[in-house]
Amino acid sequence: MPEKKLRLAVLASGRGTNLQAIIEAIEKGRLDATLAVVISNKAEAPALERARKHGAPAVFLDPKATPDREAYDAAILEYLKKCEVELVALAGYMKIVTRVLIDAYPNRIMNIHPSLLPAFPGLKAQQQALDWGVKVSGCTVHFVTEGVDAGPIIRQATVPVLEGDTAEPLEARILTEEHRIYPEAIQLFAEGRLTVQGRRVHIR
Ligand code: GRF
Atom 1 of ligand 1: nearest residue by CA position: 92
Q: Is 114 in the pocket of ligand 1 (CB under 6 A)?
A: yes
Residue 105 DSSP SS3: coil
How far CA 168 is from CA of 11, 114, 134, in Å, comes to 24, 12, 16
pLDDT at 2 over 70: no
pLDDT digits (tens, 9 = 90+) for 88-123: 999 999 999 999 999 999 999 999 999 999 999 999
Give the ligand 1 atom nearest the CA of 15: 12
Give the integer Cα–Cα distance in Å for 12 and 18: 9
**Average pLDDT, integer, range 66-93:** 98
pLDDT above 90 covers what percent of the chain? 98
Marked catalytic residue, from 113, 142, 179, 202: 113
Q: What is the phi/psi pair of residue 75, to 5°?
A: -65, -40
**Average pLDDT, integer, range 43-70:** 98
pLDDT at 157 over 90: yes
pLDDT at 7 over 90: yes
- Give me the pLDDT at residue 4, please: 87
Atom 10 of ligand 1: nearest residue by CA position: 92
Give the integer Cα–Cα distance in Å for 46 and 67: 26
202 as an active site residue: the answer is: no
Give the ligand 1 atom nearest the CA of 93: 10
Q: Is 142 in the pocket of ligand 1 (CB under 6 A)?
A: no
Residue 6 forms beta bridges with which residues?
33
Q: Is 51 in the pocket of ligand 1 (CB under 6 A)?
A: no
pLDDT at 1 over 60: no
**Average pLDDT, integer, range 137-160:** 97
Q: Is 17 in the pocket of ligand 1 (CB under 6 A)?
A: yes
Q: Is 92 in the pocket of ligand 1 (CB under 6 A)?
A: yes
pLDDT at 11 over 60: yes
- Low-confidence winner among 1-5, 119-123, 136-140 (lowest mean pLDDT): 1-5
Give the ligand 1 atom nearest the CA of 20: 13
